[in-house]
Amino acid sequence: MCCKVKVDNLKVENQVNPMGIDILKPRFSWTILSSNHNVLQTAYHIIVTDEQGIKVWNSNKVETDQSVWIEYNGSPLQSRTRYSWQVKIWDNHGNETDWSVPQNLEMGLLCKEDWLAAWIEPEQQEAVEEAEITVQDIFSGALKEESLEERTKNLHPPKRLRRLFTINKTVKKARLYMTSHGIYKLELNGRKLENIEFAPDFTAYNVHLQYQTYDVTGYINKGENALGVELADGWYIGRIQLTGHSCQYGNKLGVLLQLEIELEDGTKEIITSDEQFVSSSGPWQYADLFIGESYDARLEQENWSCAEYDAAEWTPVKRAEYSLGNLSAQYGPVVKAMEEIAPREIHYEEDGAQIIDFGQVIAGRMRIQMTVPRDTRIIFEHSEVLDENGKFFMNIMGRNKDQTNFYVAKGDDRETYEPSFVFHGFRYVRVTGHPTPIQTEDITAVVLYSDMEMTGNFTCSDERLNRLQQNIQWSQKTNMLSIPTDCPQRERAGWTGDIQVFAPTAAYNMDVSSFLTRWLKDVRLEQFPDGQIANYVPTGKYYVSESKASFGNLSSAGWGDAIIIVPWVLYERYGDTRILEENYTAMTKWLNYVRQTAESEIPDSLKDEQDAVRLNRQKYLWNTGFHFGDWLIPSMKDPIESALKTKELVATCFYANSALLLAKISIILGKKETAAMYEELNQQIRKAFEEEYIDKNGRVSSPTQGIYILALQMNMVSDSKRPLVVNQLAQLIKENGYKLDTGFLSIPYLMDVLCKEGEHETAYRLLFQTQCPSWLYEVENGATTIWESWSAIAPDGTVGYMSFNHYAFGCVGDWLYRYIAGINPGEPGYKTSIIEPHTDCGLTSAAAEINTKYGKLSSSWTKTDNLVTLIVEVPANTTATVVLSHKSNIRLNGTVLENDENERLQNQIGSGSYQFDFADNYVPQS
């Protein structure tokens, strides 16, 4: 026994004490704390016991250094059972830890038969389905203008449901399992349950509907009890996505719940959703996630979820038949109110409206306290930006994007209003009808996102880059509300391309592993039979017809490839191999679809081609159909132009890239022959690409910065032509005045490609550029999140009808962590890491730290003249290689180290903290 080493941060399936999971082989992880250096685990011992204290798994001592994702290997875990687990470890210094403090793991309802409850539906007017429209209709202005009043007059109100039950004995344990059609909130005996918003989360409901498990032991009284549910349209019925279409999953609100109460005397009571529930409309006229809500405080029903409330007027509910086949337990984080922000400024506009500026673009809603006469009607409109004259400006186009709430006051002294079933993307709130000046202490912005741990940060000596990093984190937090979205106002859709681009950055800033694992389940469940992966997931009922009408295709290069790239990032950053196994079939189906398309189709322009060699190589080129291409290239004013001009080359690059990744994944999963087949395919595609698209001067047939970047990054260029291609790219950037002209798909690789090809000076110039388009242009123009378009506010001050909160272009964050601060993953999950900071970048200091699955890994350097001090911290049970190039006088904790013959130092270190000192001899070119 010893006390120098201990296990900490015990998790199961990435959660502390998970409640109600349905993973039959959950995985255990821990970190190791030690005051020693060079600590490696040599063995572990896990014991799992059930509620009776019976051991269901005794791993015994397992000699291994594995301390993350250890799969349960005991007797089958049982429904609704709470298990307790402990671990101890041994290390390479001969230490054996104490047993950890016991942790819990509780299973949910593991099979359909466990559900005794039936779906119930309150009496309601069925939701009205809206007309189908295309994307073109939205942007061509062809949509019929309808007032908000007209559009909302048919919306149905949220519902309240309640049921009484009596418990006459002492409660030992009570669990509530629950889900809904729509989004819900729960109350028991007048008390709200936990800080959970928008349960049951947004998933592909028809095939995947999550139920949540609540510990309600302390909520139940001896005697009469009341259970209350509030239900609103949410994503199930409400208007969602770009086209603002309703009823994508159904048109009726419903509830499925089961309350299981174990009593001290060993008996059990089960209360289910049944005909004993009654329902009523609450104070809302409607509540729609996108449009907003209308709330009349005069209709509030005080104590509606208490037993003594008189519900004589409430109406009976009906049982409804739905299959339970789509149910699964909540996996990963729920949405919560995560932060609050006070206003920065409040001012009046000429018409008497008050504009509240919260100083930060967010996703969420506001809470206001007020004392106003009864019947006062107040309007709250939300927007991300003011116009060029400083006036309130609705920056979002499209159908049903109002983000407007109506409130009628009851006239109480200091009444509080916070909408329940809506969220908005905003920084500014325009308040109309509030009779007195609003005081800053009376209004607050409530920030909502999925409850994930912030795991990383990057800071440096340039405050503008620090703001950029904060903007990236803000765009991440506020676009990770239930699913990874493009933006939290206009579409709020799980665009596969956006997260594909952003996932590496996301995985530095936050622990996104369970969040993206859940979303990937929907991506594969919604894969089309021919292997296509949807452009956004969850898709909804109109996906196929709208995509065909709008684009002619159901998938796009660089978007569908998310099924390969996102699991790969999760494997690399978190060391999770199961994510590769789970998605492998979907990956191969996607690549087969691409392959078949490439092999069977040729572009119209080649229909009369006679050159047999050229015709023959077409089968390796994915050069037909619509793709979003290198989406949103700044110099092309129409996004569709950037799609059409780049799609052919972009698609083929992604085809090659995915084939290579799939080869690597196949090797990891032990499928060597398949790996060889994909490797061979990758080579053929690359060869065909070069022959078809790159001329003898290294010029590509549709020259944009992005195509050169992708061609270099994805090795579509032979070694002999590489310098020529690099030259073309450098030339284009120079001609563009060292400003960005890259779209969504190429930007993640821009800085890496330049730095790898010896153009790091060019990369630094792009990084510090302040003219439009550039990252710091946005920062210097007051951005608090990442904009959809670099010129969302143009240099002449014109404010665009764009989203001001799209994380895609924030993917440079990954490079800041990796290249400037120098933290790179080595073996998956940072079991090993490579610390290679670039102290020649023009900054005088930079620091990054990330909370890996093994613990804190950090790299921080400061530079005075040319003397650099680098502090590296490596978590226990991992090692790191510190790589320094072109440095002299290198010392490690005071001891002199020698460079190799290439002026490169590679020094392996174990866990602990280290100080390197050296001279950086790089002299920037003027």
User: Which of 143/306 has CB closer to ligand BGC?
Assistant: 143
* Residue nearest ligand BGC, Cβ-based: 486
Among 305, 290, 1, 19, which Cα is nearest to 178's?
19
Question: Residues 203, 503, 423, 789: is their CA dihedral positive or negative?
Answer: negative
Site track for ligand BGC across 470-499, x = CB under 6 A: ----------------xx---x---x-xx-
Q: Tell the smallest beta-carbon distance from residue 788 to ligand BGC (Å).
A: 6
Dihedrals phi, psi of 724, to nearest 5 degrees: -65, -40
User: Which of 231/783 has CB closer to ligand BGC?
Assistant: 783
Q: Tell the smallest beta-carbon distance from residue 395 to ligand BGC (Å).
A: 13
Site track for ligand BGC across 436-475, x = CB under 6 A: ----------------------------------------
Three-state SS for 269? Answer: strand
Which 496-555 positions form the footprint of ligand BGC (CB under 6 A)?
497-498
Helix (H) or strand (E) holding 257: strand 254-263
Q: Tell the smallest beta-carbon distance from residue 241 to ligand BGC (Å).
A: 10
758-764's contacts with Cβ under 8 Å and 24+ in sequence apart are 758/726, 759/726, 759/729, 759/730, 760/838, 760/840, 760/841, 761/924, 761/925, 762/730, 762/733, 762/734, 762/738, 764/841, 764/842, 764/924
Q: Tell the smallest beta-carbon distance from residue 135 to ligand BGC (Å).
A: 8
User: Which of 449/830 has CB closer to ligand BGC?
Assistant: 449
**How many other C-beta atoms can be found within 10 angstroms of the C-beta atom of residue 690?**
18
Site track for ligand BGC across 188-227, x = CB under 6 A: ----------------------------------------
Dihedrals phi, psi of 873, to nearest 5 degrees: -120, 130
Q: Tell the smallest beta-carbon distance from residue 546 to ligand BGC (Å).
A: 12
**How many other C-beta atoms can be found within 10 angstroms of the C-beta atom of residue 907?**
16
Which 239-278 positions form the footprint of ligand BGC (CB under 6 A)?
242
Is 384 a binding residue for ligand BGC by CB under 6 A? The answer is no
Q: Tell the smallest beta-carbon distance from residue 629 to ligand BGC (Å).
A: 9
Report the distance separating Cα 557 and Cα 496, nearest Å.
10
Site track for ligand BGC across 589-628, x = CB under 6 A: ---------------------------------------x
Q: Tell the smallest beta-carbon distance from residue 701 to ligand BGC (Å).
A: 22
Among positions 284, 631, 749, 914, the unique one binding ligand BGC when judged by CB under 6 A: 631
User: Which of 404/496 has CB closer to ligand BGC?
Assistant: 496
Residues serving a catalytic function are 491, 788
8-state DSSP, 126: P
Q: Which residues, listed in sequence order, are joined to residue 850 by a DSSP beta bridge?
A: 456, 857
Rg (CA), the chain: 29
User: Which of 197/546 has CB closer to ligand BGC?
Assistant: 546
Q: Tell the smallest beta-carbon distance from residue 485 to ligand BGC (Å).
A: 9
The two three-digit tokens of residue 445, written as one number: 């912005």
Report the distance separating Cα 421 and Cα 441, nearest Å.
24
Which 896-915 positions form the footprint of ligand BGC (CB under 6 A)?
none
CA distances to 305, 450, 477 from 339, in Å = 27, 12, 11
Which 799-838 positions form the footprint of ligand BGC (CB under 6 A)?
806
User: Which of 486/741 has CB closer to ligand BGC?
Assistant: 486
User: Which of 208/806 has CB closer to ligand BGC?
Assistant: 806
Torsion of CA 137, 141, 147, 150, to 10 degrees: -20
Q: Tell the smallest beta-carbon distance from residue 384 to ligand BGC (Å).
A: 14
Among 820, 810, 782, which Cα is nearest to 459's?
820
User: Which of 445/650 has CB closer to ligand BGC?
Assistant: 650
8-state DSSP, 619: G
Size of the site for ligand BGC (CB under 6 A): 10
Report the distance separating Cα 748 and Cα 742, nearest Å.
9
**How many other C-beta atoms can be found within 10 angstroms of the C-beta atom of residue 778?**
27
Kindly list the residues in this chain that would bind ligand BGC in the complex (CB under 6 A): 242, 486-487, 491, 495, 497-498, 628, 631, 806
